[in-house]
Amino acid sequence: MLPDTSVKTLDKVVVRFSGDSGDGMQLVGNIFTNVSAGLGNEVSTFPDYPAEIRAPQGSLGGVSGFQVSVGRGVHTPGDRADVLVAMNPAALKQNVRHLKDGGVAIVDVDSMTESDLRKALFTTDDPYKELGLRAQVVEVPITSMTRATLADSGLDAKAINKCRNFFALGLICWLFDRPMDAVERFLKKKFGKKPAIFDANMKVLTAGYNYGHNIHASVSTYRVESNDATPGVYTDINGNTATAWGLIMASEKSGRPLFLGSYPITPATDILHELAKRKDLGVKAVQMEDEIAGVCSAIGASFAGNLAVTSTSGPGLALKSEAIGLAVMAELPLVVIDVQRGGPSTGLPTKTEQTDLLHALYGRNGESPLAVVAPLSPTDCFDMAFEACRIAIEHMTPVILLTDAFIANGSSAWRIPEDNEYPAIRPPYLPQERIDAGGWRPYDRNEENLVRYWALPGTEGAAHRIGGLEKDCVTGAISTDPVNHEKMVMTRREKIERIADDILAQEVIEAGVPTDTLLVGWGGTYGHLRTAAAELTAQGIPVDLAQLRYISPLPSNMGEILSRYKRVIVAELNTGMLASYLQSRFPSAHIERINKVQGQPFLVEEVAEAVKSLLKD
Amino acid sequence: MEQTTFPAQYKSDQPVRWCPGCGDHAILNSLHKAMATLGVAPHQTAVISGIGCSSRLPYYMNTYGFHTIHGRGAAVATGVKLANPELTVWQISGDGDGLAIGGNHFIHAVRRNIDINILLLNNKIYGLTKGQYSPTSARGFVSKSSPYGTVEDPFIPAELVFGARGNFFARSIDVELAVTQECLVAAGSHKGTAVTEILQNCVIYNNGIHSPITDRQYRPDRTIHLVDGEKMLFGKDKEKGIVQDGFYLKAVTLGEDGYTIDDVLVHDSHTPSNFLHQQLAMMDGTDLPLAIGVIRDVTTPTYNDALEEQIREVRAAKGFDSLRSMILAGDTWTVK
């Protein structure tokens, strides 16, 4: 049963600037508000001054805040902020209660000094822990970068320090796509008569904006909420963490140690970060010299008997293609995580898209089928990462897990599973009796699912050689025989197709009233499409939804589902990749399309409108 | 110590398909013998390769073997060793596979000091693709892809190894079976990345490329076999030696210009400084004889040992016994 979820805070975002009362928080808050209003956003603000005009610097009493909600349907400044800017420890302490769980705290790390921590009455050196912060902390050296930016400005230290607020504003403008020229107009108005101050503030503003660009800073302004409140212990996770933890669960359930070979790339890097921390659970996470080395080290680890994973995003998937083909050919388990981002090439590194689907399915030389799965939501990343591992190991194949920037960064409350909630994963080890009987060959298969046996190096009596060359279907020795090659191509394909017998049937979320319209989506668009289908149904336009998690192979009931509907509408964040894949598999289906390629998730409303518009015809 | 393993145990049943007269045959035999001397059981051994003539070698070993893709052998071997440090891992590569397409993985494996043994079979040509120049071909070398001669300088493999802060480098010649064996046994005993360059003759596309140094009539004067603790002597009657000349090395004839045996350097492959090792490795058979044998063999911490140690420490400090226990130690709330 798919979890009932909904996507929230689609249309507005709450930002809170906080610092010492001399830090100019009200000024930058106002500028951000005005620029947003100028872009057509609705705005609502809440300046939060200290009682004292100038309480002692760095003290709790001296903190000044400015909260603004911008977007659509804005009626209040917001209960709690999605993003908090804290210019010093006192500001962080005073404002942490105004920050949402799972929000983002941007902190001037230069201010986290012993003396400032004491002024803010922190008793330890770890203010985040002391506050029990349930947020993503982005530490930014705001003060030192401001100083570096203005080192040659001729301004004195005091004047330079007064520009720190504009570094913070620049970073916020990057995060929410506020154009610099609009900010510049406001600065001109305010500082037009003081060109030196205007220049300095512009420079620092631009430096802050560029810093956001350079570090690929991003915040998810979306939150996918589960409407399921099963009793249990909960925590807050984003999709990348859920992915990392799902892999660890699969390692525990398969008894195979977890190995990650990876290379940093936005927006997948947090998976590497999380698994690097998990040495405390015995995980080996290795930062290799490049993307190719990442996947190749994982393939080596798989050969040696580990649960082997590589994590990347689009450009990295392209680099890994040849090696993934090797894993197809050698028939080794391998999990490839692709956190999709905007492409092609470097594209839009921090933005979300579903444009790697055909690459995942077909992007290798030769006939090289593999399994492709896609989680529906941040928490589903846990389940589908686990499932990717299960399929990889039990079917001795590479599996590509297609998440995306939206669910990778999006967070959600998640019930921590009990140990018995996930099944054991059973590696197809070479049985000892086959070794004892002699005559075992490395491509002997289980006739039922065509899976070859996994003989782990170190096992006596099972030494064997494998590789990327075609091999004889019986002996496993190198073979260039034409008929044998075709037979092996068909066998490798059939092996993938038979995974369909080992996965869940496709579920249809029904409107509750008869309808001949089916909305089809896949992966991370689930929250939006489900909400859109529900809204359409509520408006008297009943729509069923099939959201695919298994794409290769497709669930065995997929054809039957499509044949039940007169109208099949595939909605996806690309120009029609799943639609064309389904059309090629099911030529008789009448498939219509809703597509968006803007580096942004769907809006519920635009999906609903697009469906209505199609149904008019 | 009684030898418990024998070369034949390391030979697979596959027919060897290298060209008749190819230097790889001799190297394969030397490797079988070295493995038998080292005594690691075949099933505890993994042999990894990329693509190229030399990369066919795993098929001829009765060990675990993986013939991977072009240039990536070092990265795959790294994963094998880290996943199961109990295995003894060998990687077979050539000058194209290891130093061109795989150059990045090669230097980073050396830098990390993963405990693998890399055999670099250097024939200064691309054989499998039928005769193009390689990154070790000399400037001006004429080949099918450089019909007017190359206009680029080659890598010297030893220099790359030292540049990547390597701590084991040995060199041999395909026909010097005993020296090759000696190098491979030392490589196999060394903890950390051990690179052994073997000058190999491609009988089809680059026949005789090493002849000016390796031919029987030149070899005594143009090569020197370095042995730990022994004087650096060469020549037919060991009448020549290597001496220090300021910052540089010089080849001298004993009894001439006042040089005696006392002036000749003694080889020490274990000294931590790589200064002299580099100079020895860079001798090229012209003014100074080409060095063969184990040139540098210094033990430093390996990546795989450090990784295991760090995992042990962190696990002991945190004390989690499962994913669930780790998550529950973080921020959670309960829904009743």
Contact A300 B83 (CB under 8 A): yes
Same domain assignment for residues A375 and A286: yes
Same domain assignment for residues A162 and A205: yes
Which own/partner pairs from A592-598 qualify as long-range (CB within 8 Å, at least 24 positions apart)? A592/A567, A592/A568, A593/A569, A594/A569, A594/A570, A595/A571, A597/A353, A597/A355, A597/A573
Tell me the C-alpha to C-alpha distance, in Å, between residue A127 and each of A91, A336, B12. Answer: 12, 37, 62
Same domain assignment for residues A530 and A407: no
Contact B67 A461 (CB under 8 A): no
Q: Chain A window 447-466: which residues touch B at a Cβ cutoff of 8 Å?
A: 456-466
Mean per-residue pLDDT for A463-477? Answer: 96
Q: Which amino acid is at B230?
A: E
User: In chain B, where are the structural domains located?
Assistant: 7-209
**Residue A59 pLDDT greater than 90, yes or no:** no
**For A613, phi and psi rounded to 5 degrees?**
-65, -40
**Residue B310 pLDDT greater than 90, yes or no:** yes
d(CA B77, CA B68) in angstroms, rounded, equals 10
Mean per-residue pLDDT for A320-344? Answer: 98
- Choose the weakest-confidence range: A405-419, B56-70, B130-144: A405-419
| pLDDT number for residue B132 | 96
Q: In what order do the strands lie in the sheet with B240-245?
A: B233-234, B240-245, B248-253
Please check whether residue A85 is in contact with residue A140, taking contact to mean a CB–CB distance below 8 angstroms.
Answer: no
Q: How much of chain B exceeds pLDDT 90, in percent?
A: 96
| pLDDT number for residue B297 | 98
Contact A289 B104 (CB under 8 A): yes
Q: How far is CA B330 from the centre of its chain?
A: 47
| Dihedral sign from CA coordinates of A91, A97, A98, A100 | positive
**B32-45 pLDDT, tens digit each:** 999 999 999 999 99
Same domain assignment for residues A494 and A539: no
Q: Is B287 helix (H, G, I), strand (E, B) or coil?
A: coil
CATH number of the domain that residue A260 is part of: 3.40.50.970
Residue A511 covered by a domain: no
d(CA B97, CA B91) in angstroms, rounded, equals 11
Query: If we measure between CA atoms, which residue out of A544, A523, A520, A533 comes closest to residue A594?
Result: A520
The token pair that represents A1 in the structure block? 């049963």
Could you list the residue range(s) of the whole structural domain that residue A71 is in?
A: 5-214
The token pair that represents A204 in the structure block? 């620092």
| pLDDT number for residue A78 | 74
Of B75, B76, B315, the CB nearest to A280: B315
CATH number of the domain that residue A606 is part of: 3.40.50.920
The token pair that represents A74 in the structure block? 């804005």
**A174-209 pLDDT, tens digit each:** 888 888 888 898 888 888 888 889 999 999 999 999
Query: If we measure between CA atoms, which residue out of A271, A288, A404 comes closest to residue A348?
Result: A404
- Using the Cβ of A126 and the Cβ atoms of chain B, whether some distance falls under 8 Å is answered with no
**Residue A8 pLDDT greater than 90, yes or no:** no
Which own/partner pairs from A141-148 qualify as long-range (CB within 8 Å, at least 24 positions apart)? A141/A108, A141/A109, A141/A110, A142/A87, A142/A108, A142/A109, A142/A110, A142/A111, A142/A167, A142/A168, A142/A208, A143/A108, A143/A110, A143/A111, A144/A110, A145/A207, A145/A208, A145/A211, A146/A204, A146/A207
d(CA A399, CA A65) in angstroms, rounded, equals 48
Same domain assignment for residues A404 and A549: no
- From chain A, the residues in CB contact with B65 under 8 A are 463-467
| pLDDT number for residue A52 | 58
β-sheet bridge partners, residue A224: A7
Q: Which amino acid is at A494?
A: E
Interface mutation vs chain B, best among A133, A296, A412, A414, most B CBs within 10 Å: A296
**Residue that is written with structure tokens 């050698």 in the block:** A330
Q: How confident is the model at residue A10 (pLDDT cuts 50, 70, 90)?
A: very low
Same domain assignment for residues A181 and A246: no
Q: Which amino acid is at B261?
A: I
- Using the Cβ of B312 and the Cβ atoms of chain A, whether some distance falls under 8 Å is answered with no
Q: How far is CA B252 from the centre of its chain?
A: 29
Q: How confident is the model at residue A222 (pLDDT cuts 50, 70, 90)?
A: low
**Residue A221 pLDDT greater than 60, yes or no:** no
Q: How far is CA B172 from the centre of its chain?
A: 9
| pLDDT number for residue A50 | 66
Contact B46 A303 (CB under 8 A): yes
**B201-231 pLDDT, tens digit each:** 999 999 999 999 999 999 999 999 999 999 9
Instruction: Report the mean per-residue pLDDT for chain B.
Output: 96
Count of other CB atoms within 10 angstroms of residue A252: 21
Q: Which amino acid is at A437?
A: A
Query: If we measure between CA atoms, which residue out of A585, A592, A401, A391 comes closest to residue A504?
Result: A391
Of B77, B108, B317, the CB nearest to A289: B108
Same domain assignment for residues A482 and A599: no
Q: How confident is the model at residue A228 (pLDDT cuts 50, 70, 90)?
A: low
Domain final residue, candidates A214, A243, A267: A214
- Using the Cβ of A229 and the Cβ atoms of chain B, whether some distance falls under 8 Å is answered with yes
Q: How many Cβ pairs closer than 8 A exist between chain A and B? A: 197
Total domain count for chain A?
4
| pLDDT number for residue A7 | 52
- Using the Cβ of A235 and the Cβ atoms of chain B, whether some distance falls under 8 Å is answered with yes
Same domain assignment for residues A236 and A102: no
CATH annotation of B7-209:
3.40.50.970
Q: Where are the alpha helices (DSSP H) in chain B?
A: 24-38, 73-83, 95-96, 103-112, 157-163, 177-189, 211-214, 219-222, 275-282, 303-318, 323-328
The token pair that represents A335 in the structure block? 């999990």
Q: How confident is the model at residue A97 (pLDDT cuts 50, 70, 90)?
A: confident
**Residue A141 pLDDT greater than 80, yes or no:** yes
Same domain assignment for residues A493 and A575: no
Residue A221 covered by a domain: no
Strands A284-287 and A258-262: parallel
**For A600, which DSSP code?**
S
CA-based nearest distance B61→chain A, Å: 8
| pLDDT number for residue A107 | 94
- From chain A, the residues in CB contact with B86 under 8 A are 458
Query: If we measure between CA atoms, which residue out of B78, B102, B82 comes closest to residue B90?
Result: B78
**For B43, which DSSP code?**
G
- Using the Cβ of A280 and the Cβ atoms of chain B, whether some distance falls under 8 Å is answered with yes
Please check whether residue B63 is in contact with residue B32, taking contact to mean a CB–CB distance below 8 angstroms.
Answer: no
The segment with the largest mean pLDDT, out of A62-66, A116-120, A230-234, A561-565, is: A561-565
**B134-176 pLDDT, tens digit each:** 999 999 999 999 999 999 999 999 999 999 999 999 999 999 9
Contact B80 A303 (CB under 8 A): yes
**For A448, which DSSP code?**
T
Q: Residue A521 half-sphere exposure, CB side, CA atoms within 13 Å?
A: 31
Q: Which amino acid is at A148?
A: A
Residue A76 covered by a domain: yes
Q: Residue B322 half-sphere exposure, CB side, CA atoms within 13 Å?
A: 13
Same domain assignment for residues A247 and A394: yes
Residue A355 covered by a domain: yes
Q: Which amino acid is at B260?
A: T
Strands A284-287 and A307-312: unpaired
- From chain B, the residues in CB contact with A282 under 8 A are 311, 315
Contact B80 A301 (CB under 8 A): yes
**A343-377 pLDDT, tens digit each:** 999 999 988 999 999 999 999 999 999 999 999 99
- From chain B, the residues in CB contact with A286 under 8 A are 78-79, 82, 307
Same domain assignment for residues A24 and A131: yes
The token pair that represents A111 in the structure block? 């201010």
Interface mutation vs chain A, best among B72, B101, B108, B322, most A CBs within 10 Å: B72
- Using the Cβ of A335 and the Cβ atoms of chain B, whether some distance falls under 8 Å is answered with no
Contact A457 B80 (CB under 8 A): yes
- From chain B, the residues in CB contact with A475 under 8 A are none
Q: How confident is the model at residue A9 (pLDDT cuts 50, 70, 90)?
A: very low
Same domain assignment for residues A148 and A34: yes
Strands A371-373 and A550-552: antiparallel
Query: If we measure between CA atoms, which residue out of A415, A417, A464 comes closest to residue A440?
Result: A464
